[in-house]
Amino acid sequence: LNGRSLWVMCKRKIKRQRDRFRRNLIPRIDEASMFELSSVRLVIFDFDGVFTKNYVVVSQDGTESVECSRLDGLGLSALRNVGIDSMVLSTEKNAVVSKRCSKLGIRCLQDVKNKRDVVTATAYEKGVPLDHVMFLGNDINDKSALDVVGFPVGVIDSHPSILDSVRFLTNLKGGEGCV
């Protein structure tokens, strides 16, 4: 192996990795759906199971921690760059959620008992028809919000009970860059 052939092998490997990465981030959506998606003006996310892998680590002293993907920050930046507003709704109240959302620069409401009502009220406050709202969730407590928006999306590893409420599934799992 000479230097040139090693360089070509490395270049090919990087291209394969980049192509695999792109395939996971770019969903295969038909042209009609792409046109519909272009009307989205507000995206609301669940936190646990979307920004996280839906697991929690609890230390001896009771401190909770979760694992998140840095790729989600890129997704949020992409939304901002095209002028789409976004926020997080969480059923639980947890400092981890506050800290992560603060770092990502995204508004967060916690201790939300009825996501449907909050989604509806938020859309109304922002002057966005529900037909132009996307909700990305993964679990049973997201079903009411998914049922009220125009673009209900689930993560690929969503709870089976919400699958009849979603129109689209992400290509990546929650906590692995699905945003």
80 has a pLDDT exceeding 60: yes
pLDDT value of position 37? 73
Structure tokens at 130: 């529900």
How many other C-beta atoms are found inside a 10 Å radius of the C-beta of residue 98? Answer: 15
Sign of CA dihedral 119, 153, 134, 175: positive
pLDDT band at 34 (very low <50, low <70, confident <90, very high): low
pLDDT value of position 58? 87
Predicted confidence (pLDDT) per residue in 126-176, tens digit:
999 999 999 999 999 999 999 999 999 999 999 989 989 998 888 889 999
Whether the Cβ atoms of residue 46 and residue 136 lie closer than 8 Å to each other = yes
pLDDT value of position 154? 93
Q: What is the pTM of this model?
A: 0.81
Alpha-helical segments (H) within 62-127 = 71-81, 95-104, 115-126
Structure tokens at 36: 């519909």
Distance CA 27, CA 155 (A): 12
Reported as half-sphere exposure (CB side, CA atoms, 13 A), residue 68 has a value of 18
pLDDT value of position 32? 58
Distance CA 179, CA 124 (A): 24
4 has a pLDDT exceeding 80: no
- The rounded radius of gyration (Å) of the Cα atoms in the chain is 18
25 has a pLDDT exceeding 50: no
pLDDT band at 21 (very low <50, low <70, confident <90, very high): very low
